[in-house]
Amino acid sequence: MVTQSEDAAKSWITVRRRRLLQGVILAVVIIDIFFVFSRRPLADKTIDIGNVRSFPARSVKQLTLNAVFYFPRSSDPSVNAPPIRRITPVRVFVVNDPTEGILVLFARDPQSGCRLVHELKDPIDPAFRRRARELGAVFEDPCHGDLFSYTGVRLDGPAQRGMDQFGVRRGPTGEVIVQLTDFQLGPGSPRSS
């Protein structure tokens, strides 16, 4: 025969187990929601980088944007995009081309993710430097030797496409506004390696 105190003890243990299980489930749901929403970019992430007069024609300026950017994952395997990752700060080259207008180029190699440089370094190989000059290269991947033109077009190297870029719009008083949510993969290569 079970006494009242044994019944009370069993029901107390059952209630504790049920509450513990509910707490664990709630914690898992909260953590899951946090990870889902922390990986999504803001709906309209824009950054004012200055007035259009700050970028004279045929100029190239390197800027570091104090922002968070989520590099997209491509569903097309031929695009060769790395998996999604959080990048902060965002380094860009702002180019004012007389025919294409202001371009904001992502300062990373589209294939390897290495940081691109604007001032071409003098490598040990003088033939490489000559080829870069002949092609009119302005940006270089110091890790793998990719060369890109003034507007981000791939000229030489292992990358399969040109430099990626962000959307740009002009504000009513001439400010240049970068739209981090308007990320465009670089164009295909006009030349083969």
Domain residue spans in the chain?
Answer: 1-38, 46-184
Given a cut of 90, is residue 138 above it in pLDDT?
no
Sequence letter at residue 88:
T
Q: CB 90: neighbour CB atoms within 10 A?
A: 22
Determine the average pLDDT of the residues in 20-48: 70
- The pLDDT of residue 80 is 57
pTM: predicted TM-score of the whole model, two decimal places: 0.67
* CATH class as words, domain 46-184: mainly beta
Q: What tens digit of pLDDT does each residue of 36-78 get? A: 555 554 444 888 888 888 888 888 889 888 888 777 665 444 5
- The pLDDT of residue 142 is 82
- The pLDDT of residue 4 is 65
Question: What is the CA 169 to chain-centroid distance, rounded?
Answer: 19
Integer-rounded Cα radius of gyration of the chain:
26
Q: How far apart are CA 74 and CA 164, in angstroms?
A: 13
133 by Cβ neighbours in 10 Å (0-12 / 13-18 / 19+) ranks as: exposed
